[in-house]
Chain A
Amino acid sequence: MNAHGVQARDLAVALVGNPNAGKTSLFNALTGSRQKVGNYPGVTVERKAGRLALPDGRVAELIDLPGTYSLDPKSPDEAVTRDAIFGRIAGERPLDAIIAVIDATNLRNHLRFVLELRALGLPLVVALNMVDLAARDGIVIDAARLADLLGVPVVETVAVRKRGLDTLGAALNEQIGAERPAAPALQPRDLRALQGEARRMAAAVQTATGAARRWSQRVDNVVLHPVAGPLLLAAILFFMFQAVFSWAEAPMGWIEAGVAALQTQLAAALPAGWLLSLLNDGVLAGVGAVVVFLPQILILFAFIITLEQSGYMTRAAFLMDRLMARVGLNGRAFIPLLSSFACAIPGIMATRSIDSPRDRLTTILIAPLMTCSARLPVYAVVIGAFIPARDVGPFGLQGLVLFVLYLAGILGALVAAFALRRTVTKGAAPPFLMEMPKYQWPALRDIGIGLYGRAIAFLSRAGTIIMSSTIVLWAMASWPQPPVGAVKPGIEYSLAGKLGTALEPIFAPIGFNKEIAIALVPGMAAREVAVSALGTVYALQDVDEENTGGLIEQLRAAWPLPTALAFLAWFVFAPQCLSTLAVTRRETASWRWPIFMFTYLFVAAYVAAGITFHAATALGL
């Protein structure tokens, strides 16, 4: 090895296994936090790699390939695994060895995949993972006998407790020779024959079979109970949303205060002018608009990762499948839609786990209808201004209106899915087949590493887009500058103001005035920017999102109630921020779908706002 830690021949080793075999835990245990997360070229599949030092000093790049049941892919993730194994991915080194990760509690199914992998002829080591959980269920496996039957080393591991890692490294060391192995070719194989062989082999090496999954089945008796199950799911969701919004409040406040303090510092240090405006209202406001959502997103992801790793998420998908089936989706769409309540961007990214392309596209298209947290500041200002703070029975009226807005988003999404599945994403849905893994205590390390990876993904994807669009829209709202002696607010003379003024006739039929039309333009950067834009347009010279007290007074004086209600209805469906469109473009690999998404949401928002405005006017509100 030379000084840079690179040797004459860089080794590449891949972790391969069924979903739920504990592959990612093993990857985390072997590589710790030294991971690089990227993307495979041309597809939106994550590439996770880390450094693995072998006992003899050689270093390998360890690649965590997406979990798959066989070498015949059914989804883009699974195709990456196959292509990586066969060395067909551009820019990827051919593999020197494979670590096949198998679940000791599910030997027969996982062994079938090992038999498939063995036939490739690459150096192979089997990690017999989760032997502790097997022991818990009373399953005893003769690993030495299994190694004899397979003809490859078998190492017992408990990834979450870091057990067996040294032995695994040693076995791998022995398997990888000096010469690079020949790239394998896919031979035709008879899956059912292999399945039978795996079953016989599993029976031969299990000296005690135990009562498989006893523990998980007891938990499922409650979690999947026809009455208790849905109630528990509702309680978990309720707690999760409470946590997302209440726990994040304080850190969001600190971030806003921090950004504001920086802006004050800059204002004191620099002369007033376009540079200060660019830094404060463009760059800092842009960075702030992204980072301020990080606390909510981290809390939401901590819940989602915990629920995923514990095995509960598939149960939620099971419980929700019936409802999803009615609108032409399946239970798997539930998880991405749940994420979209914090932000549509991670939600759309999470649709990668949906195997059917049509279902996935439908889920992407309806994800922005889930009320993301960026709509909250808009709702808060308008509700604060127009909805009286009185009680209706045991509930506050303001809270009820907020609830109705969330509900309207969900119902809108269901209707949209129903309509889309019969038109643009028409076609037979592939059958719903989903493994329900056993329950496990999630390991803190795995949650931490998962959280870190998703936070970085959010910051880099959303961050770059939100920030650049904020700067562009800042420029549009600042130029051209108002003439000397202008009486109207500066924004009205700008490009954004002119665009808003031009749009006004379009919005007038649904009760929106010119000020709203102008504010909607910068609101495309991120929805909550509409609040500060309203502040600007109503000439509250402090362009401060915190300064909503004055804005509430101003709006109350300027808007009739039907306009305010129409504005709320608009935001339920509002054509989403540019970052959502950009992520949709990325995930669907075409401009067609983001344009379609924008159009259908614009029409829905326009119709909803129009109906609300005219109904409210007719009712004399």
Chain B
Amino acid sequence: MIHSHRLIDSLVPGEVALIAAIDRGGLAPETAQRLCELGFDEGVDVEILHRAPFGGDPLAVRVGNMVVALRRDMARLIEVTA
């Protein structure tokens, strides 16, 4: 576990990981809250399902039972343990 802190952005499709930390300081308060409302929280299982065509941005991420589209710049604020 100690060696594998990565950003959500670096997961390969199909690889399931747990959210380790969210850099909420890098987000506006409303955005941090919306992220929470959409189910992003420490300890929740996530997986990258799809990357959009033409450059792989945004990402479709499964978080719990929900699928959420978000751009890579935000995905880079979410750390996971694979």
Which residues of A come within 8 Å of B, CB atoms?
69-70, 72, 74, 105-109, 112, 191-192, 195-196, 199, 212-213, 216-217, 220, 224, 226-227, 229-230, 314, 317-319, 321-323, 325, 331, 430-436
Contact = CB atoms under 8 A, between A and B. Distances in A.
Given A69-B34, A106-B66, 11 more contacts: A69-B38, A70-B37, A106-B64, A109-B65, A191-B36, A220-B50, A321-B57, A322-B54, A430-B31, A431-B73, A434-B68
11 contacts: A70-B33, A105-B65, A108-B64, A108-B65, A191-B37, A213-B65, A325-B71, A431-B70, A431-B71, A433-B35, A435-B68
Contacts of B35: 433
Contacts of A112: 37
Interface of B: 27-28, 30-31, 33-39, 41, 44, 49-55, 57-58, 60, 62, 64-71, 73-74
Contact of B57 (A74, A216, A220, A322): A322
Contact of A433 (B41, B50, B70): B70
Contacts of B33: 70, 72, 191
A230 B53 contact: yes
A109 B38 contact: yes
A59 B54 CA distance: 54
A321 B60 CA distance: 12
B65 A106 contact: yes
A152 to B, nearest CB: 21
B36 A195 contact: yes
A230 B66 CA distance: 23
A226 B59 CA distance: 12
8 closest A-B pairs by CB? A69-B37, A226-B53, A224-B50, A436-B67, A212-B65, A434-B69, A106-B65, A109-B39
A222 to B, nearest CB: 11
Which of B35, B58, B64 gathers the greatest number of chain A CB atoms within 10 Å?
A: B58
Contact of A430 (B28, B44, B64, B66): B28
Contacts of A217: 49
Contacts of A325: 57, 71
A322 B54 CA distance: 7
Contacts of A432: 58, 69-71, 74
Contacts of A318: 50, 52, 58, 60, 69
A112 B71 CA distance: 25
Given A195-B36, A195-B41, A227-B53, A314 B31 contact: no
> Which secondary structure dominates where chain B touches chain A?
mixed
Nearest to B13: A221
B82 to A, nearest CB: 20
B59 to A, nearest CB: 9
Contacts of A191: 33, 36-37
Contacts of B65: 105-109, 212-213
B61 to A, nearest CB: 9
A235 B74 CA distance: 31
Nearest to A432: B71
A226 B60 CA distance: 13
A229 B53 contact: yes
Nearest to B30: A74
Contacts of A108: 39, 64-65
A321 B37 contact: no
B76 to A, nearest CB: 12
Contact of A109 (B54, B55, B66): B66
A436 B53 contact: no
Nearest to B67: A436
A12 B74 CA distance: 41
A191 B33 CA distance: 8
Contacts of B38: 69, 109, 433, 435
A270 B41 CA distance: 74
Contacts of A226: 51-53
A217 B60 CA distance: 11
A321 B41 CA distance: 25
Contacts of A319: 52-53
A195 B39 contact: yes
B51 to A, nearest CB: 8
Nearest to A18: B37
A74 B33 CA distance: 10
B60 A220 contact: yes
Nearest to A106: B65
A70 B34 CA distance: 9
Nearest to A317: B69
A436 B67 CA distance: 5
B68 A321 contact: no
Given A195-B41, A431-B71, A322 B55 contact: yes
Contacts of A227: 53
A318 B39 CA distance: 19
Nearest to A116: B37
A33 B37 CA distance: 33
A340 B49 CA distance: 32
A618 B53 CA distance: 42
B21 to A, nearest CB: 13
Given A224-B60, A322-B54, A322-B58, A436 B68 contact: yes
A321 B31 contact: no
A434 B35 CA distance: 10
B14 to A, nearest CB: 11
A107 to B, nearest CB: 7
